[in-house]
Structure 1
């Protein structure tokens, strides 16, 4: 584990808010030169602490007004492999995340759809036909608040 100082934490907080910031802009905000900031960012990347920079799309602005979290329990009769299920679910474009979890369900999926009728179509035609799909519990997202994470 890499030891993080206050400057590293400041860099991580700033990048968590805006991953497009370059080393020069980061440096100006934390009081370091561009090269010194770049070296720190590079060290955080090499240590695996910074793991890429991602663009977050606004699903609602793209016409996907409904987000549903699905708990999926695999059927035990067919003994389908986890890999078969994961491969099949990853091919469904409306499924944004696939999380293998411990608890009541085997998987937690984040699914986007245009509206509830579209979600029902995705559920019936795509998700319920997956190899090994058993019980499913749906929770419709009403609102979402982004938290800054453990670094505050």
Structure 2
């Protein structure tokens, strides 16, 4: 599939179905989208080859896995030299507790999504790992009250 090829409604429905359940068999996927299995499989392969489908994974119940507290963390930095920023990014990226890490335009400079067992674990994470990183000026933590919509 070339980059110029537009996704049609069948491609989009295949993507929706696979996002809901990546373990669908080709036969079941074909049934759900109204195709026979061979053309459905060809479309899936084209979507994979084009890099539109980048992989398949298991969704984990984080609470059952001992990481039930989600905290959105904003970080402001006090430096602008690239070496310090690269070090900060490499350090934070290596932490298992951090499941999403974004540099954004404006203030704050970074957003993190952190998963830990409880408030004590988060306090240990923030004070033991984040606060001491060179360049970190301010950390604002917002524990998640309720997930309204999550798209994987």
Normalised-by-shorter TM-score class: 0.7 to 0.9
1:28 is aligned to 31
Correspondent of 1:56 among 51, 54, 59: 59
| SS of aligned partner of 1:110 | strand
Correspondent of 1:85 among 85, 88, 101: 88
In 2: Cα distance, 1:45 partner to 1:94 partner: 30
Correspondent of 1:124 among 117, 122, 127: 127
In 2: Cα distance, 1:92 partner to 1:129 partner: 14
Query: Which has the higher mean CA deviation after the structures are superposed, 78-87 or 61-70?
Result: 78-87
Contact 1:78 1:132 in 2 (8 A): no
Alignment root-mean-square deviation, CA = 2.0
In 2: Cα distance, 1:30 partner to 1:94 partner: 38
Contact 1:79 1:132 in 2 (8 A): no
CA separation of 1:134/1:93 partners in 2, compared to 1, >3 Å: closer, same or farther? same
Unpaired runs of 5+ residues, structure 2, are none
When normalised by structure 2's length, the TM-score is 0.88
CA separation of 1:32/1:84 partners in 2, compared to 1, >3 Å: closer, same or farther? same
Aligned length: 149
CA separation of 1:60/1:148 partners in 2, compared to 1, >3 Å: closer, same or farther? closer
- 1:20-74 per-position Cα deviation (integer Å, ceiling 9, x unaligned): 1132211121221222111101111222221212222111111222110001112
Q: Does 1:37 align with 2:40?
A: yes
Q: CA deviation at 1:134?
A: 1.7
2:71 is aligned to 68
